[in-house]
Structure 1
Amino acid sequence: MTNIDIFKQQIQEMMNTDYPSFVEAFVSIETGETNKEVLETLYHRYMDRDDVTLLNEFFSK
């Protein structure tokens, strides 16, 4: 098993355990935002929109 496989498995487990907190942590890391209320608002806005992804379109094939 490669490191990528291990990381993917760990990330998937975090997503399965508490998806809202996973998204909020991801957004916090990427933006530097630490206010829990702001992160919760951003999570709900993210979930309300089908056209928003957590990764930039740059990573699309």
Structure 2
Amino acid sequence: MMQSYPIEVFWSEEDQIWIANIPDLPLCTGHGSTPQAAVEEVEVAAEAWLDAARADGRSVP
């Protein structure tokens, strides 16, 4: 199970979509047609981000 990280969710007027990001994980973002969809996508992205960091021997926040 993934450690809990704060997630920011906001509406992008420019892209006309909800965006979620995890500030503690650089460039880890997700998007969706609803806030919940964006959060679900960023949670999947976070798992991949953390797996890649561990595989590369990088420290995980």
Q: Same fold (TM over 0.5)?
A: no
Q: Which structure features the higher share of helix residues? A: 1
Q: Which has the larger radius of gyration?
A: 1
| TM-score normalised to structure 2 length | 0.33
| TM-score normalised to structure 1 length | 0.33
1 or 2 for the larger relative contact order (CA 8 Å, sep ≥6)? 2
